[in-house]
């Protein structure tokens, strides 16, 4: 979706403000939100794409006025509500509750997002491709600033779960993933900084041959 | 219970609204058996104390000192990094990108905050900020200037927007004047910013005699 | 600028909510802000393009969290501050203060934004043109959703003050203005509603031949 | 002083922050001789009481009943509308766009709130809302549905994004069953929404005998 998360090329946010000796968390509640989000994710009711979609689905005024962990918190609240996890009739405890003992292994394992794809790659390294001009109402990982623009395939990474399907309960629908490089002037025209190139990682259905 | 020990800098002041809101949510989730407070503590402890940019610095220093490892890192960063014990969540599919005199790499996630946790820990606030996310792909040179980094005009900038599950680690160029240093000493020069691309490695404090600074 | 004002095609703002029997103002202060903005504009320190730029230059979080007249108020405050109109050394009263008696004539007169342009039009009705892929840091009236897309010249309206210059004290720099029509599928690809076309009014320098 | 008579629905409640903020700004501007409170009152009175969609409705009704005027409106809307006494601020450069059975017109300003004040008055909140401004150019049919307007599937939609100083007035099609009505009666059918394109004119209350409804 063309939501508030799609920030590439937007203006008006002011300077970047690095913080010297920045702590990992700026308040105790931020740490709790991180922990709650990861632990709740382990329950299996949603995946990372659904989480991201919950965040980008916050009203833009809320998204822009919220700190990062506040966005996480609001999305977590929304996911819990949607799944009814706090309803009186939900079983207690949840059968997949993450135990403290299981945390190190869960973090160390992560989640493998790669999936085999039988069909041969549609594009090869060096091919010129156009990022499709799509404007889906749901989740996508093709940012608006590259849509309609022509780039070059730099690498093919094999199959990966497609977020556009996965975020909405439509399965993993794996597709090949490519790194596509765009010249700065192709993306930003005469206002591009000289000597710039920008790449995105794009699923095959995001691309069309030129 | 450790999860009750949120920071209270002023014990006589009421907790702020976010602290209260999170505490209420956690209490409800604990009551329904959705989360174990000790598991939350363990997750927090992992990222507050165990995982951080020191991991990535060790990877970079080894790449600077071990050509075979550098080659492996280039070909299969996930496996090369995992061989040093850094793997897992938000680092499942790693890619190392190497700075050269002609091209400087910069990593961003315009759509959220994708970041290689096993090697860099959790991202700093600026990395997640709308200012960085919006501008890194449009005017990286201006952004770098705000970090005090002025690249030579002839150096190209390559920005990697982390739009999928690949996570990027920038391998900066080894600073001059570090010829005699071992991997441990070199790792101390490798800042988090150098591995995102908003900085360069620190210059070694003591330049060996005879080497111009 | 690619600021918070550039809303065409953005998502996440929810349904449109028409209000039955809507009053002209929802609070007394809204009416005062309208009056103050128009009266302050008559002082001659800024023009309509500078006003619009002051509004779109509000931080996105502020812009999105503010009601419309709140945006006007904040921009008015910013313009007054920038021009130093409330400084102790400013002359009292302002020599161009709008009197109540002059209000009807000022409103009735409006401002003629048309200006003669000697050069012949670069484009003719029916010409295919591309909206240029510009990303100026300052004010522009070429919305992001048409940039890079091909449309057709439907009308040529003669010369008009160029907002991109006028907003920034760079004179009127008049250029010919065109109505350019885009097919919905050209703008939005496969996600376009069928049977849609969209036009913008674009200055000549916003366009290039195809 | 009339400018002190802001609305105070609850005289015992403190004024809200916006009221206070605006009052302070106005007081400072008055003190510096920048604005005359009576001029503010006159501006407000103009748009609260004198200028509104009745003006536009009179223009549309005349276009329905006077083919020469309709032709003039099509060729030079600014002059045709000014001839009826509606001119000035935010209507300096008018364009009338005529609905047909094949094409329905819809007006928006995606970049701010451009709107033809002399014929329609000040824009309603929904016209200025991010929801309308973002969606009118992308999914006008969905937007129209929220106004209760379902166009035939074969009707094309033409959206006019008011990006310059041209201001658009939609001239809807004259409703059936209005053959015997004069301009005054017709004007009462022409709603503000019909002249923006988010609505159609009202159907006359009494259909003349013998005309199928």
| ipTM of predicted assembly, 2 dp | 0.95
Q: Which residues contact B110 (CB under 8 A, 6 or more apart)?
A: A6, A7, A8, A143, A145, B133, B134, B136, B137, B161, B163
pLDDT at residue B15, as a whole number: 79
The answer to whether B162 is a known catalytic residue is no
pLDDT at residue D14, as a whole number: 74
CA trace torsion B59, B64, B66, B67 (10° rounding): 120
Against chain D, the chains showing at least 3 CB pairs within 8 Å are: C
Average pLDDT over residues A83-96: 94
The answer to whether D109 is a known catalytic residue is yes
* Degrees, nearest 5: CA angle D21-D22-D25: 90
Residue A13: strand, helix, or coil: coil
Tens digits of pLDDT across chain C (210 residues):
999 999 999 999 999 999 999 999 999 999 999 999 999 999 999 999 999 999 999 999 999 999 999 999 999 999 999 999 999 999 899 999 999 999 999 999 999 999 999 999 999 999 999 999 999 999 999 999 999 999 999 999 999 999 999 999 999 999 999 999 999 999 999 999 999 999 999 999 999 999
A36 → closest Cβ in B29, B33, B90: B29
pLDDT for B97-109, tens place per residue? 999 999 999 999 9
C4 to A143, B110, C210: CA distances (angstroms): 17, 16, 30
Q: For residue C166, tell me if it sits in a domain.
A: yes
Contacting residues of A for B102, CB less than 8 Å apart: none
pLDDT at residue B59, as a whole number: 98
C-alpha–C-alpha distance, residues B194 and C119, integer Å? 53
Q: Where are the alpha helices (DSSP H) in C149-205?
A: 163-166, 184-188
pLDDT at residue D132, as a whole number: 98
CB-CB contact of A148 with C185 (8 Å):
no
Average pLDDT over residues B67-94: 97
The answer to whether B113 is a known catalytic residue is yes
Is the pLDDT score of D12 beyond 90? no
Domain boundary among C63, C78, C109: C109
Give the range among B51-60, D2-11, D177-186 with minimum mean pLDDT. D2-11
Phi, psi of A170 (to 5 degrees): -105, 30
Residue with tokens 């000697």: C118
Domain boundary among C109, C139, C159: C109
Burial group, residue A168, by CB count within 10 angstroms (0-12, 13-18, 19+):
middle
C33 shares its domain with C81:
yes
> Residue A160 is inside which H or E element, if any?
strand A150-160
Mean pLDDT of chain A: 97
Average pLDDT over residues B119-144: 98
User: Is the Cβ pair A59, C12 closer than 8 Å?
Assistant: yes
A171 shares its domain with A199:
yes
* Degrees, nearest 5: CA angle A184-A186-A192: 40
Domain count, chain C: 2
CB-CB contact of C137 with C164 (8 Å):
no
Average pLDDT over residues A188-195: 96
Is the pLDDT score of A63 beyond 50? yes
Domain boundary among A109, A141, A176: A109
Tokens of B111: 């759509």
Q: What is the CATH number of the domain that holds C137?
A: 2.30.30.50
Residue B68 CB: number of other CB atoms within 10 A? 8
pLDDT for C96-139, tens place per residue? 999 999 999 999 999 999 999 999 999 999 999 999 999 999 99
Per-window interface: A 121-140 vs B, CB < 8 A: none
In the A/B pair of chains, how many CB contacts fall below 8 A? 262
User: Is the Cβ pair C73, D18 closer than 8 Å?
Assistant: yes
Give the range among A161-165, A179-183, B14-18 with minimum mean pLDDT. B14-18
Share of chain D above pLDDT 90, in %: 88
Q: Which residues contact B151 (CB under 8 A, 6 or more apart)?
A: B104, B141, B144, B157
Number of H helices, E strands in chain B: 11, 4
C-alpha–C-alpha distance, residues B135 and B110, integer Å? 9
Q: For residue A122, tell me if it sits in a domain.
A: no
Q: For residue A72, tell me if it sits in a domain.
A: yes
Domain containing residue A143: 128-209
* Degrees, nearest 5: CA angle D159-D144-D165: 30
Is the pLDDT score of B81 beyond 60? yes
pLDDT for D20-67, tens place per residue? 999 999 999 999 999 999 999 999 999 999 999 999 999 999 999 999
Average pLDDT over residues A118-143: 98
Superfamily for the D52-196 domain: Nitrile hydratase alpha /Thiocyanate hydrolase gamma (3.90.330.10)
Average pLDDT over residues B62-68: 98
Mean pLDDT of chain B: 92
A103 shares its domain with A143:
no
C-alpha–C-alpha distance, residues A202 and A181, integer Å? 10
Q: For residue C32, tell me if it sits in a domain.
A: yes
Is the pLDDT score of B2 beyond 90? no
Residue B15 CB: number of other CB atoms within 10 A? 16
Strand-pair category, D166-171 with D93-98: parallel
Tokens of B129: 């900020």
CB-CB contact of A199 with A131 (8 Å):
no
Residue C171: strand, helix, or coil: coil
How sure is the predictor about B213, in pLDDT bands with cuts at 50, 70 and 90? very low
How sure is the predictor about B208, in pLDDT bands with cuts at 50, 70 and 90? low
How sure is the predictor about D6, in pLDDT bands with cuts at 50, 70 and 90? very low
- Per the DSSP assignment, residues forming a β-bridge with A114 are A160
Q: For residue A193, tell me if it sits in a domain.
A: yes
pLDDT at residue B193, as a whole number: 98
The answer to whether B109 is a known catalytic residue is yes
A101 shares its domain with A138:
no
DSSP secondary structure of C14-33 = ------TT--S-SSHHHHHH
Interface of chain A against chain C, CB under 8 Å? 1-4, 9-14, 56-61, 63-65, 132-137, 147-149, 187-192
């Amino acid at each position: 979706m063309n939501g508030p998360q799609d920030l590439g090329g937007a203006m008006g946010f002011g300077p970047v403000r690095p913080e010297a000796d920045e702590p990992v968390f700026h308040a105790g509640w931020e740490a709790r939100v991180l922990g709650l989000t990861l632990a709740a994710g382990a329950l299996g009711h949603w995946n990372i794409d659904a989480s991201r979609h919950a965040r980008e689905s916050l009203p833009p005024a809320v998204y822009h006025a919220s700190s990062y962990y506040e966005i996480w918190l609001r999305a977590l609240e929304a996911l819990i509500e949607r799944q009814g996890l706090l309803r009186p009739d939900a079983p207690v405890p949840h059968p997949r509750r993450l135990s403290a003992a299981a945390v190190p292994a869960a973090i160390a394992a992560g989640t493998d997002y790669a999936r085999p794809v039988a069909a041969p790659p549609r594009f090869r390294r060096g091919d010129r491709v156009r990022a499709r001009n799509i404007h889906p109402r749901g989740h996508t990982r093709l940012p608006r600033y590259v849509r309609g623009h022509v780039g070059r395939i730099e690498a093919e990474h094999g199959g990966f779960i497609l977020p556009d399907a996965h975020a909405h309960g439509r399965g993993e629908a794996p597709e090949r993933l490519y790194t596509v490089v765009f010249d700065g002037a192709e993306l930003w025209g005469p206002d591009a900084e000289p000597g710039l190139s920008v790449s995105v990682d794009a699923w095959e259905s995001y691309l069309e041959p030129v | 219970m450790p999860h009750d020990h949120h920071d209270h800098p002023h014990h006589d002041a009421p907790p702020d609204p976010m602290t209260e809101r999170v505490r209420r949510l956690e209490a409800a989730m604990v009551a329904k058996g959705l989360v174990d407070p000790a598991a939350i503590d363990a997750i927090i402890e992992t990222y507050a104390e165990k995982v951080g940019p020191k991991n990535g610095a060790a990877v970079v220093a080894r790449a600077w000192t071990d050509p075979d490892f550098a080659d492996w890192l280039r070909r299969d960063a996930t496996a090369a990094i995992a061989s040093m014990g850094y793997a897992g969540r938000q680092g499942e599919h790693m890619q190392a990108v190497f700075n050269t005199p002609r091209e400087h790499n910069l990593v961003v996630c315009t759509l959220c905050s994708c970041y290689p946790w096993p090697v860099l820990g959790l991202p700093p606030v600026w990395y997640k900020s709308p200012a960085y996310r919006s501008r890194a792909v449009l005017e990286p040179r201006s952004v770098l200037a705000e970090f005090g980094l002025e690249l030579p005009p002839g150096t190209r900038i390559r920005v990697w927007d982390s739009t999928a599950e690949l996570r990027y680690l920038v391998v900066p160029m080894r600073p001059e004047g570090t010829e005699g240093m071992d991997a441990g000493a070199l790792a101390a020069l490798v800042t988090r910013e150098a591995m995102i691309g908003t900085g360069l490695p620190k210059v070694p404090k003591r330049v060996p005699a005879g080497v111009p600074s």
